A and B are shown apart, each in its own frame.
Chain A
Amino acid sequence: AQKVTQAQTEISVVEKEDVTLDCVYETRDTTYYLFWYKQPPSGELVFLIRRNSFDEQNEISGRYSWNFQKSTSSFNFTITASQVVDSAVYFCALSEAFLSGYNKLIFGAGTRLAVHP
């Protein structure tokens, strides 16, 4: 069955430290998307990235970078030089083309990141 595992429940870092949030997924589908979303205290989820299963190129956006490795079924997220504003809960999610439908996102349990000054 499809599944997303975020083993780190909570991470606490000091500002300017680099931090990596882990995400491991399981799917039998050959075509799928992976996502990262951020949930600040206000509650709404904020989109960070989508990556499709055929594109294993790493992506960098400012202080954010993502490492997708199909061989280990992982899609990890790194924040470089963390800032207090990065404090939030981060969710990794999976959507499958055929087995469950693209528009059904399967979320991991989330990782709560606390960045202290």
Chain B
Amino acid sequence: KAGVTQTPRYLIKTRGQQVTLSCSPISGHRSVSWYQQTPGQGLQFLFEYFSETQRNKGNFPGRFSGRQFSNSRSEMNVSTLELGDSALYLCASSESGVASSPTGELFFGEGSRLTVL
């Protein structure tokens, strides 16, 4: 069974640009979550999608947005990039969420490392 795939793995952007990151969940998984990981703030929840609907959202500005497609693939977009957006962006999938699955396991991808210059 293929794992969670995130693309691109590495990217460099300049301030003011926008970026789109992609996440392909494990086949059959309908819940996709996004997390930002930085040395200063640690791991922070961005949003979670289930069956194309956003179920939960973290405390990030409106420049951070996401969506989920009918095949459960998800994208997140960051507009007007700032230096502080440099981070590892992690995507995680599960069948239907941490509460409803037997083990509660979230399957994480290896992340997209964004550098903003």
Which of B4, B56, B98 meets A33, CB within 8 Å? B98
Instruction: Please tell me if the beta carbons of A43 and B99 are within 8 angstroms of each other in the complex.
Output: no
Instruction: Please tell me if the beta carbons of B106 and A105 are within 8 angstroms of each other in the complex.
Output: yes
| Bound-state Cα–Cα, A105 to B50, Å | 15
Residue of chain A at shortest CB distance from B99: A102
Residue of chain A at shortest CB distance from B111: A43
Q: How large is the interface on A (under 10, 10 to 19, 20 to 34, 35 or more residues)?
A: 20 to 34
Q: How large is the interface on B (under 10, 10 to 19, 20 to 34, 35 or more residues)?
A: 20 to 34
Interface SS of chain B:
strand
| Bound-state Cα–Cα, A46 to B106, Å | 8
Taking A101-B55, A103-B48, A103-B97 as contacts, is the C-beta distance between A47 and B110 under 8 angstroms? no
- Contact stretch, chosen from A22-30, A74-82, A106-114: A106-114
Give min CB distance, B93 to chain A, whole Å. Answer: 11
**In the assembled complex, which residues on chain A have CB atoms less than 8 Å from the CB atom of B103?**
47, 50
Taking A47-B105, A47-B106 as contacts, is the C-beta distance between A103 and B56 under 8 angstroms? yes
Residues of B within 8 A of A (CB): 3-4, 31, 33, 35, 42-45, 48, 50, 55-56, 58, 88, 90, 92, 97-99, 103-111, 113
